[in-house]
Amino acid sequence: MKEKCYIWAIRVKTYANRLTNEFDTVCTLQAQDRYILSKVHLASLAAETHIESEIVSAMCLFLNQQKIKRFQEEVYCLPPVIVNMAIANQPQGVFLQPKNNKPFRVEDYPMFIPFLDLKKLASHCYILAPVCYSQHWWLWLADTRKLKFYIVDPYHKKSSSDKRTTLNTFIGFVISRIRVYAVGAPLKTRDKDKEIEPPYLNISGQKTSYDCAIYVMKWLEIIQPENIKRLKYEWDNWTQILFHEMNQDKAEAIRGSNVIRLSKPSSLLLSPYC
């Protein structure tokens, strides 16, 4: 059943009139606001496909509502919408927007603010922020008590270029401004914010070049921030990673699903809740 659901989710249907169902609504999450996922978002979970940021945002919203002490009291997963949009507006990592020469302000992104849980963002000790640039995902970790940042990158052990270093500094600035917005302090740019140079954590890395978002979502789920001070984090049981086996066997799974025929559907499959 899991394999059938996976195949159903990642395949976009094309009709006789050449229209598709890629923009059909699949589900709505009740988070701080209604968050809608379409077929095109779930289809990005196919193997060797760049995962849409809406999927990572949904994972953040989902984890923030888990009845687990770590997420209820300590860890807040920052949906990537504002950070990624800020990067898109300022791709060179500059602190002033090239179009209007204005600094980054959270208020400039009113369509995304409703998805921020400002209470948890202000009270929790650790902020986990997924980031995407040039189709690569990595994770920022902010320790709000010690005012320290760390980078969790499943593919790189250090900054891959000077441009990436500059961009990381800008991302740290953006996350710090979002935190300031949540606690209600005045939004003033400090020179110290522009000196953020976070270390890369030594973590168990991914084995492929295209599954970075999957690994980032898994780290969101399992990471124990109190162990970050070691600057090394190991987790060997990657056999449980989301869709791992199906990503490897996508073609075979599709072929297998095409020959499945149910002569008489069960009562379970006929249920409207299935």
pLDDT tens, residue by residue, 138-166: 998 888 888 888 888 878 778 777 777 88
User: Quick one: fold of 51-239?
Assistant: Adenoviral Proteinase; Chain (3.40.395)
| Range 22-39 average pLDDT | 88
Q: Locate all alpha helices (DSSP H) within the chain, ordered by sequence.
A: 2-10, 39-43, 53-64, 69, 81-89, 118-123, 162-183, 212-222, 244-248, 250-258, 267-270
Alpha carbon 252 to chain centroid, angstroms: 28
* Percent share of the chain, pLDDT over 70: 72
Q: Tell me if 122 sits within 8 A of 142, measured CB to CB.
A: no
Q: Specify the DSSP class assigned to residue 103.
A: B
pLDDT tens, residue by residue, 104-151: 888 888 988 998 999 999 999 899 999 988 888 999 888 888 888 888
Higher pLDDT, 217 or 98: 217
Q: Which of 78-87, 177-186, 233-242 has the lowest mean pLDDT?
A: 233-242
pLDDT tens, residue by residue, 251-274: 555 555 555 545 555 666 555 554
The C-alpha atoms of residue 103 and residue 86 are separated, in whole angstroms, by 10
* Percent share of the chain, pLDDT over 90: 15
> Which of 142, 89, 85 lies closest to 113, judged by CA?
85
Q: Tell me if 126 sits within 8 A of 142, measured CB to CB.
A: yes
Note the pLDDT of residue 242.
Answer: 42
Task: Give residues with Cβ within 8 angstroms of 38, minimum separation 6.
Answer: 22, 23, 24, 25, 26, 54
- Give the predicted TM-score (pTM) of the model: 0.75
| Range 95-108 average pLDDT | 73
Residue type, 72: Q
